[in-house]
Chains A and B, each alone.
Chain A
Amino acid sequence: MKVSVDTVKCMGHGQCNLLAPRVYSLDERGYCNVPDAMPVPADEEKAARKGAEGCPEQAIIVIEDVG
């Protein structure tokens, strides 16, 4: 599983970081700061999904592995 953040949509609510602090780090303004299509460790997948669902701007895209 991978996650991507639409940096145009992200407004720094910080909900992703609150729900999944080990997946979504924040920059000094409090905006989500993850590389494009960042791989998520297996034991963080549930938290990563929760963090994406919790984004008020719907700025996080979860890319599930195929097959």
Chain B
Amino acid sequence: MTTSITRSPEAIAAGLRTDDPDFRENLEFEVYDLFRRELPAARLPMEKNGDWLFTRYDDVRQIFLAHETFSNNVYRFADVRYIPQQIDPPEQREYRKILEPMFSPQNMSRLEPDIEKFAHELIDGMMAAKSFDFMDAFAVPFPTIIFCRLMGFPLEDHPKLLRWSRILLHGRATAFADEFGLTERDASGRPTDESVNRLFAQAQQDALAYLDGLIAARRREPQDDLLTQLLDVRYEGQRPLSHEEVRNMSYLFMIAGLDTVTAALGLITRTFAERPAERRKLVSIIGDKGAMDLAVEELLRFHASVDPHRRAAASCPFAGADLQEDQIIIAGVGSANRDETVFERPNEIILDRHPNPHLTFAVGVHRCLGIHLARRELRIALKAIHERMPNYHIAEGATPTIYTDGMRGIHTLPLVIED
């Protein structure tokens, strides 16, 4: 790779903001290559999402494993705490014991026929339209509707849920400002903090009120869904979960469940639209489930959408950084997944890469609860899409747009199916 970076890593870190579109689109991985070599603990004074960015695989892995040093209770004074994501062990372990059987591989495999059917319905729509926004036509509705079914959220409510989860995750993203009706802009053209905070507060209030109503309805009339199951389970085998616990779990699922597979599908499909040779390699293996499982892992390595945050539970030295208590740490998964000391040819997509110890789902006690659902959704979607519409490209003259906030993801992806 030819490098276009001429500034020192310290100078880059001094001005770095992960919501800068130029950084995300053009510089990100080059900057990480440099940071891994020369500035593995980067202090980011301008960054809104955290104080430090760690980019080496071993350090990011260690941040996940050392959960006592790097707390997941990131925002100590938040009024709603995501359960179990923002809870530390030992309570976290009890919640996971309740939730893991619900999201087990065995249970998620039972959803596969529904997932497949739904993928094909959406592909019918894309094939009829020939030209469409892939995010609207597939990447957004696909995981959203599957998730509503699993949780027991009424299907007709999914636009509301989607709006709330997008505000809570992407409220700051300039790309979404029009969708959210944010007109006040600061000097750099971004929505003002005040207007974003008002939007957040309203979305949170509305979402919680909605969940309150839905949980009360399930208490009166149980259904065959996850929400009802949460009302039946016992914490430590003894007491039922409180209303607030059920609500905060559902709130987390709404936010985490609706967006991550959407982001992955957008990033992956954009890459395949831009690189037909890579796409043909995928098309050649779609009939082989074992090969597809490996391919999904590799695409997840290449396109991690989230760099999780942790809070320093105490002041301590770590990987050359002098961490102060309560500083927020960004675990640079996107960079770790391309660490050349762990992955050979890290900037290439090697569909049968093995072993592939990527950190996209994290490791340790907080590994993603939804991995078995996410993997199945991605495998089934990628197979169905490339079976039925193996040739597509980005619409001529169009440019995909990205999230431009702390996450990697695609906002719009105009595609055309080739005959």
Interface residues on B, range: 20 to 34
Interface residues on A, range: 10 to 19
CB distance from B88 to the nearest CB of A (A): 15
Q: For residues 13 through 55 of chain A, which have their beta carbon under 8 Å from a beta carbon of chain B?
A: 13-15, 17-19, 26, 28-31, 50, 53-54
Residue of B nearest to A52 (CB): B355
Q: Tell me if B157 is interfacial: C-beta within 8 Å of chain A.
A: no
Taking a contact as CB atoms closer than 8 A, the residue among A18, A29, A54, A56 that contacts B363 in the complex is A56
Taking a contact as CB atoms closer than 8 A, the residue among A12, A18, A19 that contacts B367 in the complex is A12
CB distance from A7 to the nearest CB of B (A): 13
Would you call A29 and B372 a contact (CB within 8 A)?
A: no
Q: Which residues of A contact B97 (CB under 8 A)?
A: 29
CB distance from B272 to the nearest CB of A (A): 23
Taking a contact as CB atoms closer than 8 A, the residue among A11, A15, A28 that contacts B106 in the complex is A28
Q: Tell me if A6 is interfacial: C-beta within 8 Å of chain B.
A: no
Would you call A53 and B101 a contact (CB within 8 A)?
A: no
Q: How would residues 94 to 106 of chain B score, 1 for a CB under 8 Å from any chain A CB and 0 otherwise?
A: 0001001101111
Would you call A14 and B354 a contact (CB within 8 A)?
A: no
Q: Which residues of B contact A31 (CB under 8 A)?
A: 100
Q: Tell me if B371 is interfacial: C-beta within 8 Å of chain A.
A: yes
Minimum-distance CB pairs A-B, first 10: A29-B100, A30-B104, A53-B355, A11-B367, A14-B105, A28-B101, A30-B105, A56-B363, A29-B101, A54-B355
**Chain B interfacial positions (CB closer than 8 Å to A):** 97, 100-101, 103-106, 293, 297, 354-359, 361, 363-365, 367, 371-372
**Chain A interfacial positions (CB closer than 8 Å to B):** 11-15, 17-19, 26, 28-31, 50, 53-54, 56-58
